[in-house]
Amino acid sequence: MQPEAALRLHNWCLNIFEKELASISSAISLESAQESILRCLPEIISRLAIRVAEADLRRSFDVAFKFHNLPAVRGHLSLNDICEPWFKRVFDAAEPELLIEWLPTLIKAPLFDNVLQPHWRRPDSNWPDPMDSFPWKRVAKRITSNPVFAATIREPVEWLLARAISENGVGWRRAMLRLLALSSWHVLCQEQAVKATQQVWSRTGPSGLPELINLNAIGYVLRFAPAPGIDAALLLKNYILSIKATTATKELDGKRVLAVIDVWHQQFIHECIIVSKQLISFHGEELTGIEWTAEEANSLYERARA
């Protein structure tokens, strides 16, 4: 497609979407014409992001951000995550300077917890945070090496740290995941890094680990500044070694029996992989994670075989 045609199609779709956006009331009816428009147009707009100019990317981001935060979208079973590929494609198309320009807005995005959660959805999977798709690798070094860029996120991070104190449940976990991303890419100043560590360890569960949703998040706790008096690696090891094998009911010789499920569906296998130290750095990133002793590794191996 020629650049001129791509730009015309992009702006035409975006104009229609903005008009439809202005007409959204308290709810979006399922299987309605409005739902179809709101579902289809973001796919076209986002796929054309790579073909448009910076000003058009700014407009696309602003519209996506406004749409994503609407209560009617957060509470919709099929539209609540429609902006996830939209944000990702806009981020991929943007230059690093534009990404850094958007970062304060993303850091201070609402920490909604009143999201409709069907029983079949993984907890916290609804209404994904735009920062989940943010390409940190492209901007982290620019932020840390440029005092002007570093200053642009200092106040938003302070806002996030202060806001997290008053949050609970999903809202608090969303704040922690944003801070985890900022910390793991070393873009926090020393004072903020210490505050982030204090925040994440201020609320722990029975295992002694932060009350995050799973080890996909908890594994990144190791990238926070070390917490005084807390051996995070030991707590993670003890937790994983304590996870019991997952079982399921199967049919055997015409009878229903309880059996251990396939090894690759075992929780302790997945979470062990997530938090273990990598063997290879594919992009030059720092190798982080847990190193297991021979005895601990053998224990995990025997459990996997069983």
Residue 61, in any domain of the structure: yes
Which of 51, 75, 93 is the endpoint of a domain?
A: 93
CB-side exposure of 224: number of CA atoms within 13 Å?
A: 29
Question: Which residue(s) pair with 204 in the sheet?
Answer: 210
Do 291 and 195 have their domain in common? no
Token pair recorded at residue 155: 């106040």
Q: Give backbone dihedrals phi and psi of 140, rounded to 5 degrees, phi first.
A: -55, -50
Do 144 and 193 have their domain in common? yes
* Residue 241 burial (10 A CB sphere; 0-12, 13-18, 19+): middle
* Residue 280 burial (10 A CB sphere; 0-12, 13-18, 19+): exposed
pTM: 0.80
Instruction: Count CB-CB contacts under 10 A for residue 197.
Output: 21
Separation of alpha carbons 268 and 260, rounded Å: 13
Q: How far are the Cα atoms of 132, 146, 290, 306 from residue 262, in angstroms, in the given order? A: 30, 50, 25, 10
Q: How far are the Cα atoms of 223, 237, 270, 277, 290 from residue 293, in angstroms, in the given order? A: 21, 10, 18, 12, 10
Do 199 and 140 have their domain in common? yes
Task: Work out how many domains the chain is built from and give that number.
Answer: 3
The per-residue pLDDT string of the chain (306 residues; one tens digit each, 9 = 90 and over) reads 788 999 999 999 999 999 998 888 777 887 788 888 888 999 999 999 999 999 999 999 999 999 988 887 777 777 777 888 999 999 999 999 999 999 999 999 988 754 444 444 455 456 688 888 899 999 999 999 999 999 999 999 999 999 999 888 888 888 988 998 898 888 999 999 999 999 988 888 888 888 876 555 555 667 777 788 888 888 888 888 887 776 656 666 666 655 555 555 677 777 787 788 877 777 666 777 788 889 988 888 887 776
Do 208 and 110 have their domain in common? yes
Token pair recorded at residue 203: 């609320």
67 close to 61: Cβ distance less than 8 angstroms: no
- Is the dihedral angle over the CA atoms 233, 237, 238, 244 positive or is it negative? positive
Residue 263, in any domain of the structure: yes
Q: What is the pLDDT of residue 263?
A: 53
Selection from 75, 63, 64 nearest residue 25 by Cα = 75
Separation of alpha carbons 252 and 245, rounded Å: 19
Do 88 and 109 have their domain in common? no
Which of 63, 93, 123 is the endpoint of a domain?
A: 93
Domain that holds residue 30: 1-93
Residue 226, in any domain of the structure: no
Do 82 and 105 have their domain in common? no
Do 251 and 290 have their domain in common? yes
Q: What is the pLDDT of residue 116?
A: 46
Q: How far are the Cα atoms of 47, 57, 120, 138, 289 from residue 91, in angstroms, in the given order? A: 12, 9, 30, 10, 28
Do 102 and 209 have their domain in common? yes
Residue 225, in any domain of the structure: no
Instruction: Count CB-CB contacts under 10 A for residue 14.
Output: 22
Residue 180, in any domain of the structure: yes
Which of 33, 60, 93 is the endpoint of a domain?
A: 93
Do 83 and 99 have their domain in common? no
